[in-house]
Amino acid sequence: MSFDYDDPIFLKCRDVKKEIQDNKYKFNISYEDLPDVPEEAGEELIEFIAENFRFISLTDQRDLLSYMLFVMNNESFEDLVAALGNAGDVDIDELFPIC
């Protein structure tokens, strides 16, 4: 699903994807396939991500979490990490990005 990048909600998402592309950062997931997420994620979106995180490979989990670190604001990212930790199927210590 693609969103209107002129929408202010997705500006940071667009900028992060452009940075990944321009600097050729090594992500297992193509920058084109990274999800469009708002900087300030609501509780429902965070729960959805956390519930479905276990269905992707560990490498993709790391890449996606790294991407979310740069897109989401601090509060949303902290909420996501807490939700992942509570999910039970995700070993947060194993996948947390080393920055």
pLDDT along the chain (99 residues), means of 10: 63 90 91 90 91 88 90 93 84 69
Q: Which two tokens stand for residue 98?
A: 């080393």
Do residues 87 and 50 make contact, with C-beta atoms less than 8 angstroms apart? Answer: yes
pLDDT of 58 reads 85
Q: Give the HSE-up count for residue 91: Cα atoms under 13 Å, Cβ half-sphere.
A: 6
Whole-model pTM: value is 0.82
| Predicted pLDDT of residue 87 | 79
Pairwise CA distance, residues 14 & 63, whole Å: 16
* 58, 94 contact by CB (below 8 A): yes
pLDDT at 98: 59
**Residue 13 neighbours by CB distance under 10 Å:** 22
